[in-house]
């Protein structure tokens, strides 16, 4: 079907590939990768030497995962994102199977059952990526019926409940919460009724309170967080050591590789605590620079979402870049005592192959969306972009309706001349 054809009386432009990558996004991704490798080497050599007998073990391992992640990103950058409609169901089935395997294998590391294959793979990271893909495709396919609670909110709750519940059993509270937040965001962007979204938020809040009240881990983390808010000296040991590193860093830091906290008891400096090492060695200026890189990445992802050729591309790009933003925000907020301890990785910086590969794979999909131009079928139930959703649903104060639908209804109601 060529450009300018008509489908059911509506103009259709077949999406086409531009062939080039989004250069601003590519530059910021390369910057984050290089920055991450530098900080990982600085934060991991002593920990790696003590834990594995080789100061280069974690760094070399991260290089291996980086190679795999870059390969995945390159492949997905040339894989038309529309084809995910054929693969998301098997991908979700595989992900759920891996989450079940994690629970059955009972491979405990740091008090949790999150990994398989000797701690090399964490299926919860894959679950976040696949959940965004699955929900984007599902919501796109069901966009005409999202106002019907039996076809919209209830099935969405079942999907999120299964994935989030399996992740929670590991336990990985932050990953489960991330999946639920992303599900709610995508439901909103797809055109879910605001009343249903309100119900979803209320149910999620009640569920979060219930989980925190019955979970020993949740109770301890919330208790430590509240105590730290009242008096930083009463915060958890992890947060207090993080404060020490941040204060020691000052405005300009002590210099790359010169952190003392990583040598004197800061818990897991190459993973959960890597942001504290960044601030200690590079100071607040270095931390602000890192935050600016994340901000630029998010901005560029949302620009790509706005320019996507159809709502599926908008949902995918927005969901994927928001996921990366949530991971970064939670990790940094925890290290400065603004959130209960969560255990999120800092994207591109923390040691961890599963998170790095999943993040790079997500960016590969975003690059693929950026390479496509043109408009799909302008149906009466589809928005072209995130900005259109915001404009129609907040500025007009009504349930989301596309401009095409309103125009069509206006034409139908107008008298014939």
Tens of pLDDT along 124-169? Answer: 888 899 999 999 998 898 887 777 776 667 777 777 777 877 777 6
* Contact between residue 324 and residue 149 where contact means Cβ atoms under 8 Å apart: no
Return the pLDDT at 108: 56
Return the pLDDT at 121: 73
Asked, as a colleague might, if the bond just before 171 is cis with ω within 30 of 0, I would say yes
Return the pLDDT at 60: 94
What is the pLDDT averaged over residues 256-279? 90
Does residue 18 carry a pLDDT above 70? no
d(CA 343, CA 296): 24
Q: Name which residue leads in pLDDT, 119 or 93.
A: 93
Report which of 331, 362, 375 is spatially closest to residue 349, judged by C-alpha positions.
331
Q: Name which residue leads in pLDDT, 35 or 103.
A: 35
What's the mean pLDDT when you consider all of the chain? 79
Q: Name which residue leads in pLDDT, 71 or 183.
A: 71
Return the pLDDT at 399: 42
d(CA 346, CA 342): 11
The pTM score is 0.81
Share of residues in the chain with pLDDT > 90 (%): 37
Report which of 132, 133, 138 is spatially closest to residue 151, judged by C-alpha positions.
138
Does residue 15 carry a pLDDT above 90? no
Q: Looking at 28-32, 104-108, 319-323, which range is the least confident one?
A: 104-108
Return the pLDDT at 387: 43
What is the pLDDT averaged over residues 54-78? 94
């Amino acid at each position: 079907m060529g450009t300018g054809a008509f489908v059911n009386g509506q103009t259709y432009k077949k999406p086409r590939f531009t062939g080039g990558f989004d250069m601003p996004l590519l530059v910021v991704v390369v910057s984050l990768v290089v920055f991450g490798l530098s900080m990982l080497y600085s934060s991991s050599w002593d920990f790696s030497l003590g834990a594995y007998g080789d100061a280069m073990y974690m760094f070399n391992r991260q290089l291996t995962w980086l190679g795999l992640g870059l390969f995945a990103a390159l492949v997905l950058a040339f894989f038309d994102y529309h084809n995910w409609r054929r693969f998301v169901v098997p991908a979700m089935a595989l992900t759920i199977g891996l989450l079940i395997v994690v629970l059955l294998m009972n491979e405990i590391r740091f008090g949790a059952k999150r990994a398989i294959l000797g701690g090399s793979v964490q299926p919860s990271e894959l679950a976040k990526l696949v959940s965004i893909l699955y929900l984007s495709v599902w919501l796109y396919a069901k966009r005409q019926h999202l106002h019907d609670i039996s076809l919209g909110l209830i099935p969405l709750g079942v999907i999120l409940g299964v994935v989030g519940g399996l992740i929670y059993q590991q336990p990985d509270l932050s990953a489960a919460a991330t999946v639920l937040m992303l599900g709610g965001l995508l439901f909103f962007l797809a055109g879910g009724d605001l009343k249903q979204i309100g119900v979803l938020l209320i149910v999620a809040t009640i569920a979060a309170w219930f989980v925190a009240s019955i979970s020993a881990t949740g109770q301890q983390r919330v208790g430590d967080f509240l105590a730290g808010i009242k008096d930083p000296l009463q915060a958890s040991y992890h947060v207090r050591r993080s404060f020490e590193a941040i204060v020691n860093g000052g405005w300009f830091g002590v210099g790359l590789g010169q952190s003392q906290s990583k040598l004197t008891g800061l818990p897991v400096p190459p993973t959960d605590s890597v942001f504290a090492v960044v601030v200690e060695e590079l100071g607040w200026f270095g931390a602000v620079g890192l935050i600016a890189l994340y901000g630029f990445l998010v901005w560029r992802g949302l620009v790509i979402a706005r320019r996507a050729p159809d709502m599926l591309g908008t949902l995918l790009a927005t969901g994927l870049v928001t996921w990366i933003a949530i991971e970064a925000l939670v990790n940094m907020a925890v290290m400065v005592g603004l959130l209960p301890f969560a255990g999120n990785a800092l994207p591109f910086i923390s040691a961890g192959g599963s998170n790095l590969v999943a993040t790079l794979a997500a960016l590969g999909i975003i690059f693929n969306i950026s390479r496509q131009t043109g408009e799909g079928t302008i149906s009466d139930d589809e928005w072209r972009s995130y900005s259109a959703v915001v404009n129609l649903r907040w500025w007009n104060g009504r349930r989301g309706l596309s401009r095409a639908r309103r125009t069509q209804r206006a034409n139908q109601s107008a008298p014939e001349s």
